[in-house]
Amino acid sequence: MSPVSLRRWGWIHKWSSLICTIFMLLLCLTGLPLIYHHEIGHLLGTEVEPPVLSSPMPQGNVDAVIASAKELYPAKKPMFISQEADVPEIWNVTLADHMHDPNYKPIAVDARTTKVITEPAFEGGVFMSTMLALHVDLFMGLPGMLFLGFMALLLLVAIVSGVVLYAPFMRKLDFGTVRKERSARLKWLDMHNMLGIVTLVWLFVVGGTGMINTWADLMYKYYQKNELAQILKQYEGKKPLPHTASVHDAIETAKAALPGMRVAFVAFPGTDFSSEHHYGIYMNGNEAFSSRMYRPVLIDANTGQLTDAPVLPWYLKALLVSQPLHFGDYGGQAMKLLWALLDIATIILLGTGLYLWLKRGKTGNATTKVAAHAHPHPHPIPSTHTLTGKRP
């Protein structure tokens, strides 16, 4: 590769890395506790545990579950009910004054006795809710999500440009070489390059899936206005009728329509995941990965009849596939540990990249840096190689 091309790639890598590094470092730091959010919840006492019963009991009527939750807040309306795949003994009921109320009330109800267990801490408590908000949207809603998506795009550019710059560098040294006998800055350069290549595939997967995740709201709104609107065309112009159909019976109808699948959550009429006329019952599989692949079943909230069980379009499937790949929470403790180690390696990668940039003035300009990769010489070799990032 010519010196001019290397200089261009060096400029692209330097600025894409510098712009996104601080935000990627924030996302790495907040993402680390989110990998172990269940374990941290148990440690802090914010994770709800199902009561131990003297004898096994089957799950009770879902309508009774909802009624128990409403006894705490009679004026509020149910928005969602959901179950964790590994804790089927608990229904999580969400109540609010209206369907877009941000001040909702989560209630944990025993699925067997249909009695209220507790009102859980909001998003797992102050610490975890703060980590989640910083990680997802910087407390800025959709604009924050889209901003982090752009930072993830810059991360991908930094990764690609970093690989291009590292290729000529690798012709002169064995893979993973750290030249400890030379200057401290050269040692940090070699460590930075080694970590960048070791975490390359994981960074690209996590950065790419994180970018896709930031488009989730836009994707679902597009789905509502297009595919879902076509399915619900028969209801166009009709005033919503009272929601008289049993939620319990609606769930049983959904299970009959998609045998072998389980209920993940139910969206009540008027929420973003249903329509004004329907219960949106979202089914998923029982395996670790298929448990993230949802299939909606639309049940008329007035008649209890099945309207449709549409297959989600490709872009929503891509979104659902990206989520378990991004968070690494579908492969048990081994995968969580791997994700945590790679997250820590990325934090070190970011730190060394910032260190190398801050020390840049002592060793020459960007042109010299790039040329140094291809033509080693006695004085220390600076770097523009700042691979960055994790999870928007």
Instruction: Return the ∠ at Cα 188 (arms to 183 and 189), rounded to 5°.
Output: 95
DSSP 100: T
- Confidence tier at 188 by pLDDT (50, 70, 90): confident
Say whether 264 sits in a helix, a strand or coil.
strand
**pLDDT at position 275, please?**
93
Task: Please indicate, yes or no, whether residues 115 and 154 belong to a single structural domain of this protein.
Answer: no
Residue 69 scores a pLDDT above 70: yes
Instruction: For residues 204 and 214, give the distance between their C-alpha atoms in angstroms, rounded to a whole number.
Output: 16
Please check whether residues 67 and 104 belong to one and the same domain: yes
Q: Is 143 exposed, middle or buried (0-12, 13-18, 19+ CB in 10 A)?
A: exposed
- Whether 146 and 204 map to the same domain: the answer is yes
11 and 159 together in one domain: yes
CA angle 349, 351, 354 (to 5 degrees): 110
Name, in order, each residue with C-beta under 8 angstroms of 257's C-beta and a sequence gap of 6 or more. Answer: 297, 306, 309
What are the structure tokens assigned to 350, written together? Answer: 């970011």
> Based on the domain organization, do 194 and 148 belong to the same domain?
yes
Q: Which of 100, 99, 89, 95 is nearest to 69 (CA)?
A: 95
**Cβ neighbours of residue 358 closer than 8 Å, sequence gap 6 or more:** none
- Secondary structure class of 53 (helix, strand, coil): coil
In a domain, residue 13? The reply is yes
Domain hosting 148: range is 3-24+142-213+333-374
Q: How many domains does the chain have?
A: 2
Q: Give this prediction's pTM.
A: 0.82
One domain, residues 20 and 146? yes
Give the pLDDT band (50/70/90) at residue 67: very high
| pLDDT exceeds 90 at position 60 | yes
Q: Which residue has the higher pLDDT, 187 or 21?
A: 21
Same-domain status, 62 and 116: yes
Q: Is 221 inside a domain boundary?
A: no
Evaluate whether residue 235 is within a structural domain: no
Percentage of the chain modeled with pLDDT above 70: 85
In terms of Cα–Cα distance, which of 143, 134, 128 is closest to 24?
134
One domain for residues 205 and 146? yes
Look up tokens 């610490």; give the residue: 127
In a domain, 265, yes or no: no
Q: What is the mean pLDDT of residues 273-291?
A: 87
207 and 337 inside one domain: yes
- In whole numbers, what is the pLDDT of the chain averaged over residues? 84
CATH of the domain at 80: 3.10.450
Tell whether 345 is covered by a domain: yes
Q: Are residues 148 and 19 in the same domain?
A: yes
Would 327 be classed as within a structural domain? no
- Which of 120, 152, 171 is at the close of a domain? 120
Does the pLDDT of residue 392 top 70, yes or no? no
- 151 found inside a domain: yes
The more confidently predicted of residues 251 and 47 is 251
Dihedral over Cα of 132, 134, 137, 141: its sign: positive
Same domain, 20 and 155: yes
Kindly state whether residue 365 falls inside one of the protein's structural domains. yes
Is residue 70 pLDDT above 80, yes or no?
yes
Q: Are residues 52 and 114 in the same domain?
A: yes
Query: How much is the average pLDDT of 265-275?
Result: 93
Residues 58-82 as b or e (16 or more Cβ within 10 Å = b) = ebbebeebbebbbeeeeebbbbbbb
